[in-house]
Structure 1
Amino acid sequence: MRKRFLVVCLLPLLLVTAAACSQSDDGEGVASVAGSAAPSATPSLSEQEQAIRYARCMREHGVPMPDPQVVDGDVRMGGGFDKETLDPDVGAAAQEACKQYEPVMPAGLAVVKAELAREESRCMREHGVEGFPDPDAEAHVDVSEQVRRDPQYDQAEAFCREYIRSYRPSAEATPR
């Protein structure tokens, strides 16, 4: 009786373990010297799970970012906090620490993000902040403390923030 009970209890565990270990190996997970050292989003997680992991990491590093919301089937990262009160060094450090969890943006949205970042830079310069930099290839803008001290910065930022909220990307940038 005891052996039968043991077999009945261990058989499902053995089957689950065997199924978990029997994944086919396509070779993509093999480490190599020629591989990229750049962190990337975890492809096995859903878009929502990836966004939740990123938000949690950001909170662990001092950025009060709420979990993302699903709206009409799309995962949206919410601001939910005043970016003006966040220490830029804390934000930059958190972003660097959590880069590996950052959700992968669909190609069309990446183009829109890049256009919005370029437009924001252009707007800031047009409104008196001559040293405002262009975004990098990933649409991040690294604004130095010297640029933030520009007397026109606060006024230009307020104007450009509202302008970008109403800005409509070009037809080439709009995802299909």
Structure 2
Amino acid sequence: MLEDMRTLRFAAVALAAVTSIGLAGCGKENPPVSQSEQDKMVKFAECIRKHGVDFPDPGPNAPEKTYDPNDVRMQAAHAACRSLAPNPHQEGKPSAAEEDRALKLAECLRKRGINAKDPAPGSIHISIEESPGDDPQKTVAAYAACNKEVPAVSGG
């Protein structure tokens, strides 16, 4: 979940920091953000809000936010919107225990009727595919139940 929190914080920071000159990060300047990447960030923010989370639009005046990795509403929204997410800043490889938990969490979500995909090897990012008419509250409820069933890795 620590990597997810980093990703959620990065996504919020990336959305807040987008300007015509690009993003600054890690003490060096990154290349300018393309219009298609900016459009992707706007769609990501819209998707997150569609799932009930107060999330800023990209822009230089957007507030920086950090999200609780245990917030089931944000977990569900981020998983549903993962395909639209900006590329996360990588901050280290997850532990074997974190990877194992992510696989168990995806399995738990599937048992509750959520179309959850297993994370790629070396990742803990779960994505879900929603169908038209899917209820985001069902995903939130599934995350709430699965977080109890598959507790977070301590020391992560």
TM-score (norm. length: structure 1): 0.39
Q: Which has the larger radius of gyration?
A: 1
TM-score (norm. length: structure 2): 0.43
